[in-house]
């Protein structure tokens, strides 16, 4: 992700926050518990000091038991991490003798932030992968906010970078079907919902896994590369945006709510340049797990969120918005019924490589095989791996450019070098 920002020349659009992880305190509403990583220490020492300094969430015996539980991951590395995919976070903790309170105090919040599900479902590989980054990279858990809305501040520079080098981006061009070759052993073309046919040297599908399953051509449907996708599905997530008539007491950072209904949240009027205000707060919150809520009316979701905020800010917010407390000026609920793939235990065996068995056809997306799992970093890495596979196949001759004359291209047909 950092390489992408550097390549686009927009590193200054990242608003870096203090190297901390900050948790709300249900036992002390309105207060926060911090894990501060010293800048003067490298990993993993900075993380160890951050944990040892915090005595609000874990006792010393709990810290020691947790550290002992993590020893195999530290000693045996990535091979051990990947082997834990068969276990949920809860199962792994019991196996390692980690106290339940560590789960209640830390891992429920972490699981919902990493994958929008609870520790009783989440693969331990996900948590260990994150912890490994924290332990191995000095800035592994340092956080930044984009300084404005992603379509303008991140996506637009991507499009400009691509088009300035001769590429073309076409929006609102939905894929109707992938068309295999007559022998079924490769991809011939793509048909769009407009009826247009697209011929290309290579095709990359970066749609979510649930949509990809619907688009698999019939001749390929029984191939194990695609049948394994049935073991993957997207997880629902809800984002709630709340505008208040006054400034709330928050922190310039991403905050772990430790709420039964909410995951992480931030006061965007404090953390983000585009929304900055000294007069009023705009909170963005992740509502997760969302399985039981994604089908409910927006009004119910907002009401439930306000109930949780009353618990977090008892001196400033009341669900009934009574006089003397912050009032809602505007709300927006954004539902994603199928978001990143549901990283439950045992999913690693179902994730496909970016190179498909069929010439000209490649996959990208967080659900494909890469080390950063269900995340935007994982999505970026999957695209890089797909690009590497295409370059390797061109060099080896497995992927041959179409004939320069393109005699097969007729009216209503286009022939880009790459269709994604």
Residue 21 has pLDDT above 90, yes or no: yes
DSSP tag of 152: I
Q: What is the pLDDT of residues 319-330, one digit of tens each?
A: 999 999 999 999
In the predicted model, what is the mean pLDDT of residues 288-317?
95
How distant, in Å, are the alpha carbons of 29, 294, 310, 411 from that of 316? 11, 28, 8, 64
Question: What CATH number should be reported for the domain whose range is 170-233+343-419?
Answer: 3.50.50.60
Structure confidence at residue 412 (pLDDT): 47
How distant, in Å, are the alpha carbons of 68, 344, 362, 410 from that of 75? 11, 25, 36, 60
**Confidence category of residue 419, pLDDT binned at 50, 70, 90:** low
Structure confidence at residue 133 (pLDDT): 82
Three-state DSSP state, 411:
coil
Pick the more confident residue, 299 or 74: 299
Residue 404 has pLDDT above 80, yes or no: no
Q: What is the pLDDT of residues 391-403, one digit of tens each?
A: 999 999 999 988 6
Distance CA 219, CA 38 (A): 56
Distance CA 21, CA 48 (A): 13
- Domains of the chain, by residue range, sit at 18-136, 170-233+343-419, 237-336
Average pLDDT, the chain: 91
- Whose tokens are 């479902």? That residue is 121
* Consecutive H or E run containing 64: helix 60-83
Structure confidence at residue 255 (pLDDT): 95
Q: What is the pLDDT of residues 228-265, one digit of tens each?
A: 999 999 999 999 999 999 999 889 999 999 999 999 99
Q: What is the pLDDT of residues 339-375, one digit of tens each?
A: 999 999 999 999 999 999 999 999 999 999 998 889 8
Question: What CATH number should be reported for the domain whose range is 237-336?
Answer: 3.90.660.20
Please provide residue 185's backbone torsions phi and psi, each rounded to the nearest 5 degrees.
-100, 15
In the predicted model, what is the mean pLDDT of residues 133-137?
82
In the predicted model, what is the mean pLDDT of residues 207-211?
95
Structure confidence at residue 286 (pLDDT): 97
What percent of the chain stands above pLDDT 70?
96
**Confidence category of residue 414, pLDDT binned at 50, 70, 90:** low
Cβ-based neighbour number of residue 105 at 10 Å? 20
Structure confidence at residue 407 (pLDDT): 37
55-68 in b/e form (b: 16+ CB < 10 A) is: eebbeeebbebbee
Q: What tokens were used for 411?
A: 């009216």
What percent of the chain stands above pLDDT 90?
73
**Confidence category of residue 413, pLDDT binned at 50, 70, 90:** low
Tell me, yes or no, if the two domains 170-233+343-419 and 237-336 fold the same way. Answer: no
Q: Helices 60-83 and 89-96, interaxial angle, to 10°? A: 120
Please provide residue 7's backbone torsions phi and psi, each rounded to the nearest 5 degrees.
-60, -35
DSSP letter string, 155-209: IHHHHHHHHTTT-----S--EEEEEE-TTSSSEEEEEETTS-EE--SEEEE-S-H
Structure confidence at residue 387 (pLDDT): 96
Q: Do the beta carbons of residue 93 and residue 103 sit within 8 Å?
A: yes
Residue 284 has pLDDT above 70, yes or no: yes
Q: What tokens were used for 130?
A: 């994150």
| CA angle, residues 347, 339, 375, in degrees to nearest 5 | 65
How distant, in Å, are the alpha carbons of 181, 291, 361, 376 from that of 216? 14, 26, 11, 24
- Whose tokens are 């999913």? That residue is 347
Three-state DSSP state, 187:
strand
Q: What is the pLDDT of residues 139-166, one digit of tens each?
A: 988 999 999 999 999 999 999 999 999 9
Q: What is the pLDDT of residues 48-102, one digit of tens each?
A: 889 889 888 889 999 888 888 888 887 888 889 999 999 999 999 999 999 888 8
Closest CA to 305 of 340, 263, 270, 246: 263
**Confidence category of residue 406, pLDDT binned at 50, 70, 90:** very low
Q: Helices 89-96 and 124-136, interaxial angle, to 10°? A: 70
Q: Do the beta carbons of residue 29 and residue 314 sit within 8 Å?
A: yes
Residue 418 has pLDDT above 80, yes or no: no
Q: Do the beta carbons of residue 155 and residue 4 sit within 8 Å?
A: no
Q: Do the beta carbons of residue 234 and residue 340 sit within 8 Å?
A: yes
């Amino acid at each position: 992700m950092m390489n992408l920002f550097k390549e686009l020349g927009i590193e200054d659009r990242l608003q870096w926050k203090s190297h901390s992880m900050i948790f709300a305190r249900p036992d002390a509403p309105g207060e926060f518990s911090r894990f501060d990583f010293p800048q003067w220490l490298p990993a993993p020492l900075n993380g160890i000091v951050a944990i040892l300094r915090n005595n609000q969430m874990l006792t010393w015996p709990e810290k020691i038991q947790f550290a002992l539980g993590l020893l195999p991951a530290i000693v045996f590395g990535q091979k051990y991490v990947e082997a834990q995919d068969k276990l949920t976070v809860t199962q792994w903790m019991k196996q390692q003798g980690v106290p339940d309170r560590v789960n209640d105090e830390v891992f429920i919040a972490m699981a919902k932030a990493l994958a929008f599900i609870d520790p009783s479902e989440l693969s331990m590989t996900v948590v260990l992968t994150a912890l490994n980054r924290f332990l191995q990279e000095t800035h592994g858990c340092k956080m930044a906010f984009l300084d404005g809305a992603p379509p303008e501040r991140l996506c637009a520079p991507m499009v400009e970078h691509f088009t300035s080098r001769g590429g073309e981006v076409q929006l609102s061009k939905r894929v109707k079907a992938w068309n295999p070759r007559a022998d079924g052993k490769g991809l011939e073309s793509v048909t769009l919902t407009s009826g247009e046919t697209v011929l290309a040297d290579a095709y990359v599908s970066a749609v979510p896994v649930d949509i990809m399953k619907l688009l698999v051509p019939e001749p390929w449907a029984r191939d194990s590369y695609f049948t394994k996708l049935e073991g993957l599905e997207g997880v629902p997530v809800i984002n709630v945006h709340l505008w208040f008539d006054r400034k709330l007491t928050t922190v310039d950072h991403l905050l772990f709510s430790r709420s039964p209904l909410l995951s992480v949240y931030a006061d965007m009027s404090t953390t983000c340049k585009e929304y900055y205000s000294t007069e009023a707060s705009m909170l963005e919150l992740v509502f997760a797990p969302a399985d039981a809520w994604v089908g409910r009316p927006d009004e119910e979701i907002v009401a439930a969120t306000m109930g949780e905020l009353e618990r977090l800010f008892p001196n400033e917010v009341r669900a009934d918005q009574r006089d003397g407390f912050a009032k809602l000026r505007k709300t927006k609920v954004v539902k994603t019924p199928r978001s990143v793939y549901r990283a439950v235990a045992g999913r690693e065996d179902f994730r496909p490589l970016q190179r498909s068995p069929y010439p000209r056809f490649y996959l990208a997306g967080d659900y494909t095989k890469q080390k950063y799992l269900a995340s935007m970093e994982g999505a970026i890495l999957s695209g890089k791996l797909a690009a590497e596979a295409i370059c390797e196949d061109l060099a080896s001759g497995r992927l041959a450019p179409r004939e320069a004359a393109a005699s097969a291209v007729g009216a209503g047909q286009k022939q880009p070098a790459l269709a994604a």
